[in-house]
């Protein structure tokens, strides 16, 4: 379908292509936020019918650029052409009129409303003054869903749907508005691998039907798998426009970051010490009252990374919540044993402790829901940098009066060390890009010098440079003798970092294997397949070693 793109030079020679204008052309777009230039004379050219990747580090200005195209943000200067015509996009209504649709990084769905209501919202059959025609809305949604092969229950409430289905609703919403140009801002960030495959199939079908797709991601493999061309941004500027088939991960990564990036983690083999975290027969219920954990038991040693793999929703989130005191265990026991510092050798029973108490006995936690439980979005970076440690003598006199200068210094140090892109530590965290918000949490938790570090989806939404950085730091922490529990939906991440991998399925740990276990084997375990003999042996070995 995109034969003409074999080489960039061939483009000019192709008469068809010369005649057909770009679906989207953005020229010299500038947008400055207070203290940051998010877009600095950015150009973007997207051909009709192609899948175009937009990549760049956290804070490179991708979302800003797309928000400008969708009319949510007004550019300071620059021009936009849609299908060759100069357009003014003053708001989402203009964008919709131009057949531009956007699936946002954080979904724009209204949880208590139904799927159909969300989809037709703003363009309901009959117009604003008419009575809401539920049956017609259903019909329209079902038609649309059949036409694009995106099955959905129109009467389900959004709040009851999985993230993958919610995303499907978002796509249907755009298609309902007759979008020909579809923007997807980090659509795979929250999806399970299976959901990602499904999404890619959908996008390929849409592209074959002539839709133009702009796809933002941090995962270079996805860029190579899915897209036709790539635009790379760095710190608000264009640094490359590539044809996907003629490039590779290393080149894209180098353009994005401005230096060579190690796409593989380098680490020595672990030298595990004594047990730090011991979990015995843990039971807990989910929010819906179901048995989320059904007798979990495992140990994490000092100086090792234990990875928890599993399809999302098999109890991983609940396990982390119970360990950090955010959810009550209905049965079982958890203990933390200090292996270094003043209290070396001391054991604490953390069952039933509050989150604050758990922190005090040496547990640091990078939560999976950074916006919900990791940060106070409206508060400054400074205050977020000491969140949970605000009573430390270092930050407060008599545990009570904050030492503002110390805190500011501390925050500046973390921001520098972890390369959080921001003009000031006094800004609210909300003003940071998604990946930079994540870095604030990671910085804070690493700096806490814990005995046990629980990292849940630590690299979700962060760029490859930052992933490399976080991975390196995790290994460093391990080598410094900390116990690390890593929970991640990214199998690659689990396999490259972990020293042992515990696979969770339906609230149980079905097996603990070594990272050498093949992807197929892990996949089988994750879907409830029986543990193989080989992995049993490995497990015996692994536990025998420690």
Ligand X SMILES: Nc1ncnc2c1ncn2[C@@H]1O[C@H](COP(=O)(O)OP(=O)(O)OP(=O)(O)O)[C@@H](O)[C@H]1O
Residues that bind ligand X (CB under 6 A): 33, 36, 38, 56, 58-64, 421, 431-436
Q: Rounded CA gap, 179 and 173, in Å?
A: 9
Q: Between vectors from CA 290 to CA 285 and to CA 293, what angle results, nearest 5°?
A: 50
Looking at beta carbons only, is 300 or 431 nearer to ligand X? 431
Q: Rounded CA gap, 320 and 365, in Å?
A: 9
Instruction: Find where tokens 């829901």 sit.
Output: 369
Cβ-proximal residue to Mg ion, closest one: 63
63 binds Mg ion (CB under 5 A): yes
Q: Rounded CA gap, 458 and 446, in Å?
A: 11
Looking at beta carbons only, is 63 or 145 nearer to ligand X? 63
124 binds another protein (CB under 8 A): yes
Give the number of other CB atoms < 10 A from CB of residue 13.
Answer: 10
Q: Which of 203, 247, 195 is nearest to 224 (CA)?
A: 247
Instruction: Find where tokens 């593989």 sit.
Output: 264
Q: Rounded CA gap, 177 and 174, in Å?
A: 5
**3-class DSSP assignment, residue 314:** coil
188 binds another protein (CB under 8 A): no
Report the partner that residue 102 touches, choosing among Mg ion, another protein, ligand X, none (CB closer than 5 to 8 A by kind).
another protein
Bridge-based pairing of strands 452-456 and 363-366 is parallel
User: What is the phi/psi pair of residue 135, to 5°?
Assistant: -65, -45
Least distance from ligand X to the Cβ atom of residue 64, Å: 3
Looking at beta carbons only, is 339 or 422 nearer to another protein? 422
Q: Are 108 and 170 in contact (CB under 8 A)?
A: yes
Virtual CA dihedral for 397, 400, 403, 409, nearest 10 degrees?
110
Least distance from ligand X to the Cβ atom of residue 484, Å: 24
Give the number of other CB atoms < 10 A from CB of residue 544.
Answer: 7
122 binds another protein (CB under 8 A): yes
Instruction: Find where tokens 């946002």 sit.
Output: 104
- DSSP classification of residue 157: B
Looking at beta carbons only, is 187 or 307 nearer to ligand X? 187
37 binds another protein (CB under 8 A): no
Report the partner that residue 61 touches, choosing among ligand X, Mg ion, another protein, none (CB closer than 5 to 8 A by kind).
ligand X
Least distance from another protein to the Cβ atom of residue 166, Å: 12
Report the partner that residue 111 touches, choosing among ligand X, Mg ion, another protein, none (CB closer than 5 to 8 A by kind).
another protein
Q: The tokens of 125 are what?
A: 């059959």
Report the partner that residue 121 touches, choosing among Mg ion, ligand X, another protein, none (CB closer than 5 to 8 A by kind).
another protein
Looking at beta carbons only, is 63 or 227 nearer to Mg ion? 63
Question: What mask of x and - would describe binding to Mg ion in positions 107 to 146, judged by CB under 5 A?
Answer: ----------------------------------------
436 binds Mg ion (CB under 5 A): no
**3-class DSSP assignment, residue 30:** strand
Report the partner that residue 13 touches, choosing among Mg ion, another protein, ligand X, none (CB closer than 5 to 8 A by kind).
none
- The distance from CA 249 to its chain's CA centroid, rounded to whole angstroms, is 19
Give the number of other CB atoms < 10 A from CB of residue 50.
Answer: 21
Report the partner that residue 131 touches, choosing among ligand X, another protein, Mg ion, none (CB closer than 5 to 8 A by kind).
another protein
Query: How big is the chain by its Cα radius of gyration, in Å?
Result: 25
Looking at beta carbons only, is 59 or 315 nearer to Mg ion? 59
Looking at beta carbons only, is 71 or 362 nearer to Mg ion? 71
Q: Which of 334, 417, 430 is nearest to 380 (CA)?
A: 430
Report the partner that residue 132 touches, choosing among ligand X, Mg ion, another protein, none (CB closer than 5 to 8 A by kind).
another protein
Residues 168 to 187 in contact with another protein, rule: CB under 8 A: 173, 177
Q: Which of 273, 241, 290 is nearest to 481 (CA)?
A: 273
Report the partner that residue 536 touches, choosing among Mg ion, another protein, ligand X, none (CB closer than 5 to 8 A by kind).
none
Looking at beta carbons only, is 293 or 375 nearer to another protein? 375
**3-class DSSP assignment, residue 413:** helix
Measured CA to CA in angstroms, residue 269 lies from 9, 368, 499 at distances of 48, 27, 8
217 binds another protein (CB under 8 A): no
Stretch of residues binding another protein (CB under 8 A), selected from 230-238, 279-287, 301-309, 427-435: 427-435
Report the partner that residue 334 touches, choosing among another protein, Mg ion, ligand X, none (CB closer than 5 to 8 A by kind).
none
Looking at beta carbons only, is 114 or 227 nearer to ligand X? 227
Looking at beta carbons only, is 67 or 145 nearer to Mg ion? 67
Looking at beta carbons only, is 287 or 357 nearer to another protein? 287
Selected from 26, 52, 70, 213, the binder of another protein by CB under 8 A is 70
Q: Are 347 and 335 in contact (CB under 8 A)?
A: yes
Looking at beta carbons only, is 119 or 442 nearer to ligand X? 442
424 binds another protein (CB under 8 A): no
430 binds another protein (CB under 8 A): yes
Q: Rounded CA gap, 364 and 376, in Å?
A: 17
Sheet strands side by side (includes 212-216): 100-103, 181-185, 212-216, 51-56, 229-234, 237-243
Selected from 165, 431, 453, 510, the binder of another protein by CB under 8 A is 431
User: What is the phi/psi pair of residue 274, to 5°?
Assistant: -70, 165
Which residues contact Mg ion (rule: CB under 5 A)? 63
Which residues contact another protein (rule: CB under 8 A)? 63, 67, 70, 72-74, 91-93, 96, 102, 104-113, 117-118, 121-124, 126-132, 173, 177, 430-434, 437
């Amino acid at each position: 379908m995109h034969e003409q793109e074999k080489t960039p030079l061939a483009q000019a020679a192709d008469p068809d292509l010369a005649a057909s204008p770009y679906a989207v052309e953005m020229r010299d777009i500038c947008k400055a936020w207070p203290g940051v230039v998010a877009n600095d004379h950015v150009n973007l050219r997207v051909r009709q019918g192609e899948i175009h990747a937009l990549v760049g580090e956290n804070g490179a200005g991708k979302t800003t650029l797309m928000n400008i195209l969708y009319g949510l943000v007004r550019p300071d200067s620059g021009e936009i052409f849609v299908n060759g015509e100069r357009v003014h996009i003053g708001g989402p209504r203009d964008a919709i009129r131009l057949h531009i649709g956007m699936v946002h990084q954080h979904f724009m769905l209204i949880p208590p409303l139904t799927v159909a209501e969300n989809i037709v919202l703003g363009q309901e059959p009959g117009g604003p003054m008419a009575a809401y025609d539920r049956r017609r809305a259903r019909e329209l949604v079902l038609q649309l869903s059949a036409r694009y092969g995106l099955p959905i229950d129109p009467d389900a409430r959004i709040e009851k749907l999985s993230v993958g289905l919610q995303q499907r609703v978002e796509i249907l919403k755009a298609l309902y508005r007759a979008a020909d140009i579809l923007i997807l801002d980090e659509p795979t960030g929250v999806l399970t691998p299976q959901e990602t495959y499904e999404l890619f199939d959908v996008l390929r079908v849409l592209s074959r039907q002539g839709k133009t797709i702009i796809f933002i991601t941090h995962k270079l493999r996805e860029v190579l798998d899915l897209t036709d061309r790539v635009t790379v941004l760095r710190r608000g500027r264009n640094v490359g426009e590539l044809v996907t088939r003629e490039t590779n991960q290393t080149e894209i990564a180098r353009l994005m970051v401005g230096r060579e990036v190690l796409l593989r983690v380098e680490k020595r083999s672990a030298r595990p010490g004594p047990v730090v975290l011991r979990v015995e027969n843990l039971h807990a219920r989910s929010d819906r009252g179901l048995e989320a954990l059904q007798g979990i038991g495992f140990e994490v040693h000092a100086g090792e990374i234990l990875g928890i793999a599993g399809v999302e929703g098999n109890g991983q989130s609940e396990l982390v919540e119970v360990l950090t005191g955010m959810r009550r265990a209905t049965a079982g026991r958890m203990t933390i044993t200090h292996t270094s510092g003043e209290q070396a050798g001391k054991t604490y029973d953390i069952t039933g402790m509050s989150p604050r108490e758990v922190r005090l006995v040496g547990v640091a936690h990078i939560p999976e829901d950074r916006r919900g439980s990791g940060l106070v979005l409206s508060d400054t970076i400074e205050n977020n940098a000491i969140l949970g440690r605000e009573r430390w003598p270092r930050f407060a006199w008599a545990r009570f009066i904050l030492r503002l200068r110390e805190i500011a210094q501390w925050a500046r140090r973390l921001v520098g060390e972890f390369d959080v892109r921001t003009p000031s530590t006094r800004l609210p965290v909300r003003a940071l890009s998604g990946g930079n918000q994540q870095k604030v949490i990671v910085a804070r938790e690493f700096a806490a010098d814990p005995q046990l570090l629980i990292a849940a989806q630590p690299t979700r939404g962060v760029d490859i440079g930052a992933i490399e950085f976080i991975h390196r730091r995790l290994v460093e922490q391990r080598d410094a003798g900390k116990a690390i529990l890593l929970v991640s939906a990214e199998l690659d991440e689990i396999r490259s970092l972990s020293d042992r991998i515990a696979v969770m399925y339906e609230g149980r740990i079905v097996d603990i294997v070594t990272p050498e276990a093949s992807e197929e084997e892990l996949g089988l375990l994750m879907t409830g397949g029986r543990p193989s003999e080989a992995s049993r042996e490995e497990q015996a070995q692994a536990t025998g070693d420690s």
